[in-house]
Amino acid sequence: MDDERRAFLDDLLATPSPSGFETAAQRVWTDYVDAFADRVDIDAYGNAAAVYEGDPDAPTVAVTGHADEIGFIVRDVLDEGFLRIARIGGADRTVSKGQHVTVHAEEPVQGVIGQTAIHLRDGGDDEYEDVAGQFVDIGVDDAEEARDRVEIGDPVTFSTGVRDLAGDRLAARGVDNRAGAWAAAEGLRRATEADVDATVYAVSTVQEEVGLRGAQMVGVDLEDVDAFVAVDVTHATDNPDVDRERRGPIELGAGPVIGRGSANHPVLVDLARDAAATADVDVQLQAAGTRTGTDADAFYTVRGGTPALNVSIPNRYMHTPVEVIDATDLDGVADLLAAIGAAAGDVEPGPEPFAVDV
């Protein structure tokens, strides 16, 4: 990954974007794609779509990632000035206590999620408390001081930043799924540079973590799209505390992951695998017997059924402040998306160019 691409990734990962509060991250994304897209559109809720206009007779493909991350929201201010919080999305109660957080008020407010010292806890008191019972300490003495700084409904995120690990690996919060939004933007840029025949959209959706809401909006709005490729993270299963027999053999550094089953349209699966072989991109396969758990689940049911595919980035420690990915996998996803765009341009045009032949 070159310096310009890495700077874009770092900017995305450093920009807080809890579900429902994605504006700042979407601004980073749109500023980047505006340099090479033919057009960039943003809807009322902040879903952003950039398009490269290909041959009007060729199919149209949308490659997507979601901009939002999990987090918390201020739900109450206690008399002593502590803040009660609730979840935004699937925040993990087992990793939140003792963490630095930022309350995104009118001006950012720093705080910590309190954790009683081990010396003051009974031996049997090590159960993980639910998020509703946890609190943020912003250092004030009473509710009046707290309310001068924050309001009910202000979002809260962990304060961890991007850290480089060995080789091409990095750790950050919110990799799920601003890494996917990065890949969608980069896939579009590389498809544009390759001058593919297909029309290609790159889309950064909102509110995936609270129910695929942005994808439901986009799936209806982009009426001319023949196929959606949703990029998200998936669980890498190569760390010691994961039972491989339960999770499947997904490894960091072994390439993008192509889903099979459920929302994953078989014609698109085959097209993606062929495109990967043509572009010399190593890929892994993952089974999705019931659902993918990604925006693909929303895209494929809109407008009477639109072919969709889930492509994933291997990710360790999902929904924690220290998610770990390999940048070579991320680059591989962007290359794969561009290759899918090129392959789509070779598909025979028609009313349903990716339909199953039965």
How much of the chain, in percent, has pLDDT values that exceed 90?
A: 89
> In which band, very low, low, confident or very high, does the pLDDT at 247 lie, cut at 50, 70 and 90?
low
- Assess whether pLDDT exceeds 90 at residue 304: no
Q: Which of 208, 223, 323, 348 is catalytic?
A: 208
Domain co-membership, 88 together with 65: no
Domain span holding position 153 = 71-158
> In which band, very low, low, confident or very high, does the pLDDT at 318 lie, cut at 50, 70 and 90?
very high
Domain co-membership, 91 together with 146: yes
The whole-angstrom separation of Cα 218 and Cα 206 is 10
- Using the 3D structure, point to which of 126, 158, 190 is the last residue of a domain: 158
For the chain, what is the mean pLDDT? 95
- Tokens for 281, please give them: 């991109």
3-state secondary structure of 221: helix
Q: Is residue 295 a contact partner of residue 229, using CB atoms and an 8 Å limit? A: no
- As a whole number of Å, the end-to-end CA separation of the chain is 42
Domain co-membership, 191 together with 325: yes
Q: Is residue 131 a contact partner of residue 119, using CB atoms and an 8 Å limit? A: no
In a domain, 165, yes or no: no
In a domain, 163, yes or no: no
Unique residue bearing structure tokens 């190593």 = 282
Which segments of 229-279 does DSSP mark as H helices, in order?
A: 244-247, 266-279
Identify the pLDDT of residue 9. 98
- Assess whether pLDDT exceeds 70 at residue 261: yes
Domain co-membership, 59 together with 92: no
* CATH number of the domain to which 89 belongs: 2.40.30.40
Identify the pLDDT of residue 124. 66
Q: Pick 125 or 40 by higher pLDDT.
A: 40
**What is the mean predicted confidence (pLDDT) over 211-236?**
96
Q: Which residue from 259, 268, 246 is spatially nearest to 291, judged by alpha carbons?
A: 259
Q: Is residue 288 a contact partner of residue 208, using CB atoms and an 8 Å limit? A: no
The whole-angstrom separation of Cα 325 and Cα 270 is 26
Identify the pLDDT of residue 320. 97
Q: Which residue from 174, 187, 331 is spatially nearest to 253, judged by alpha carbons?
A: 331
Q: Which residue from 221, 219, 207, 180 is spatially nearest to 306, judged by alpha carbons?
A: 219
Domain co-membership, 190 together with 312: yes
> In which band, very low, low, confident or very high, does the pLDDT at 240 lie, cut at 50, 70 and 90?
confident
Q: Is residue 89 a contact partner of residue 73, using CB atoms and an 8 Å limit? A: no
In a domain, 304, yes or no: yes
Q: Supply angle C-alpha 261, 59, 177, rounded to 5.
A: 50
Domain co-membership, 122 together with 231: no
The whole-angstrom separation of Cα 182 and Cα 200 is 15
* C-alpha to C-alpha distances, 212 to 139, 188, 290, 334, nearest whole angstrom: 36, 22, 16, 22
3-state secondary structure of 98: coil
* C-alpha to C-alpha distances, 16 to 55, 84, 108, 293, nearest whole angstrom: 37, 20, 11, 22
Q: Per-residue pLDDT tens for 94-150?
A: 999 999 999 999 999 999 999 988 888 876 667 788 999 999 999 999 999 999 999
In a domain, 356, yes or no: no
Domain co-membership, 258 together with 211: yes
Q: Supply angle C-alpha 224, 267, 264, rounded to 5.
A: 85
In a domain, 351, yes or no: no
- Tokens for 126, please give them: 């090590």
Residues of the binding site for Zn(2+) = 66, 176, 209, 232, 319
- Tokens for 42, please give them: 């943003």
Identify the pLDDT of residue 175. 98
Domain co-membership, 262 together with 320: yes
Question: Which strand (E) or helix (H) includes residue 327?
Answer: helix 327-345
Q: Supply angle C-alpha 297, 303, 307, rounded to 5.
A: 50
Question: Which strand (E) or helix (H) includes residue 214?
Answer: helix 213-221
Identify the pLDDT of residue 266. 97
Residues of the binding site = 66, 176, 209, 232, 319
Identify the pLDDT of residue 273. 98
- Using the 3D structure, point to which of 158, 193, 223 is the last residue of a domain: 158
Domain co-membership, 47 together with 62: yes
- Assess whether pLDDT exceeds 80 at residue 186: yes
Q: Is 352 an annotated catalytic residue? A: no
Q: How many other CB atoms sit within 10 Å of the CB of residue 296?
A: 29
> In which band, very low, low, confident or very high, does the pLDDT at 244 lie, cut at 50, 70 and 90?
low
In a domain, 120, yes or no: yes
Identify the pLDDT of residue 25. 98
Q: Give the pTM.
A: 0.96
**What is the mean predicted confidence (pLDDT) over 317-340?**
98
Q: Per-residue pLDDT tens for 48-79?
A: 999 999 999 999 999 999 999 999 999 999 99
Q: Is 321 exposed, middle or buried (0-12, 13-18, 19+ CB in 10 A)?
A: buried
Identify the pLDDT of residue 125. 65
Q: Is 301 exposed, middle or buried (0-12, 13-18, 19+ CB in 10 A)?
A: middle
Identify the pLDDT of residue 204. 98
In a domain, 164, yes or no: no
* CATH number of the domain to which 322 belongs: 3.40.630.10
Identify the pLDDT of residue 15. 98
Domain co-membership, 120 together with 208: no
- Assess whether pLDDT exceeds 90 at residue 196: yes
Give all strands of the β-sheet with 257-260 in edge-to-edge order: 39-42, 48-52, 199-205, 60-66, 227-235, 308-315, 257-260, 284-287
In a domain, 354, yes or no: no
How much of the chain, in percent, has pLDDT values that exceed 70?
A: 98
Domain count, the chain: 2
Domain co-membership, 330 together with 238: yes
Identify the pLDDT of residue 328. 98
Domain co-membership, 59 together with 76: no
